[in-house]
Amino acid sequence: MKIRRWASTVTAVAVLGLSTITGATAASAQEAAPTGYVALGDSYSSGVGAGDYESGDCKRSANAYPQLWKAANSPSSFDFTACSGARTGDVISGQLGPLNDSTGLVSISVGGNDAGFADAMSTCVLQGESACLTRIQEARDYIANTLPGKLDTVYDAISDKAPSAKVVVLGYPRMYKLGGSCSVGLSEKSREAINGAADDLNDVTAKRAADHGFGFGDVRPAFTGHEICSGDEWLHSVTLPVDESYHPTAEGQSGAYLPTLESLA
C-alpha cells in the first residue's frame, strides 16, 4: 500500500510539473508571438480624402483605416508609413524600415500609381472621351503586362523583412455607379472603362497576393451603392484640393476599408 501511495504521489508531482512547464512554455510562446502592425502603401492607405492629416506630404489621416484598426485592436507596436503618391518602388525604398520578426500584421494598397491612374483620371476629366479611352487602355496594358512583376518585387521584400507577419493586400473600389445620378461630367463609356481598369487592377493584385500566400481584401462589395453617381458617395469626385479627387471619404475608410481589413486580419 505504501509503495502504491508513493508511486501515485510521484506520478502526480510529475504530471503537475509537466503541466507547469507546458503552461509556462505556452505563455512564453504567446508573449513572443509577433503582434506589431505596420501599414504600408499609397494614398488609399494613408487616407487621402478622409481629412484630419498629420503634417507632411504623405497626408496620413487620423481617419484612415490603419489608424482605425490600431485604435480598435491596440497592437503592441504601430508604424504608419503609407504615403500619398507611393508606387511599388517607393514602398521598397522608403516604407519597409519598421518591418521585422515581431511584425504580426502588414496591410498594403499599392499599384494604382504604378499604372498611372491619377494621370488617366486627369486625361478623362480634361480631354474628353476619345483621349480618356486611349489613356485607360494604356493603363490596362500596363496592369496586365508590367504590374505583376512590380507587385512580386514588393511582396517578396515584405516577406523577407517580416517572415512571421500576416499580410493583407487591400484593393481598390470601382469609381462609378453606371446608370447613376450624374447628369454631367464624364461620358458613360468613359465611366465604364474606368471601372473596367479598376477591375483589372484588382484581379491582378488578387492573383499576385494569393501566389505569395497573402490575403486579398476586395473592397468593391463594400463600396457598391456608394460609388460616384450613386447618391450616397463614399468617394470624392473632382475636388479642391485636387489631390483628394477620386479618393475615399472618411466614410469610405471606416465603412469599406476598415471592415475589409478586419475580416482578414
Range 245-250 contact pairs with CB under 8 angstroms and sequence separation of 24 or more: 245/121, 246/117, 246/118, 246/121, 246/175, 247/43, 247/44, 247/48, 247/49, 247/50, 248/44, 248/49, 248/50, 248/173, 249/49, 249/50, 250/49, 250/50, 250/51, 250/61, 250/63
Query: Would you name the residues annotated as active-site residues?
Result: 43, 247
- Residue 87 sits in the same domain as residue 3: no
pTM of the model: 0.88
- Residue 28 sits in the same domain as residue 51: no
- Residue 126 sits in the same domain as residue 257: yes
- Residue 130 sits in the same domain as residue 146: yes
- Residue 131 sits in the same domain as residue 250: yes
- Residue 127 sits in the same domain as residue 203: yes
Beta pairing, strands 103-109 & 166-170: parallel
The CATH number linked to 178 is: 3.40.50.1110
- Residue 28 sits in the same domain as residue 61: no
Largest CA distance in the chain: 99
- Residue 1 sits in the same domain as residue 56: no
- Residue 58 sits in the same domain as residue 131: yes
Q: Which of 7-21, 117-131, 149-163, 249-263 has the lowest average pLDDT?
A: 7-21
How many Cβ atoms sit within 10 Å of the Cβ of residue 133? 18
Structurally, how many domains does the chain consist of? Answer: 2
> Mean pLDDT, to the nearest integer, of 237-244?
90
Q: Which domain holds residue 49?
A: 35-262
Residue 158 has pLDDT above 90, yes or no: yes
Residue 99 has pLDDT above 70, yes or no: yes
Beta partners for 176? 228
- Residue 50 sits in the same domain as residue 26: no
| Residue 236 φ/ψ region, left for φ over 0, alpha for ψ in the -120 to 50 degree band, beta for the rest | beta
More confident residue, 81 or 31: 81
Q: What is the Cα 180 distance to its own chain's centre?
A: 27
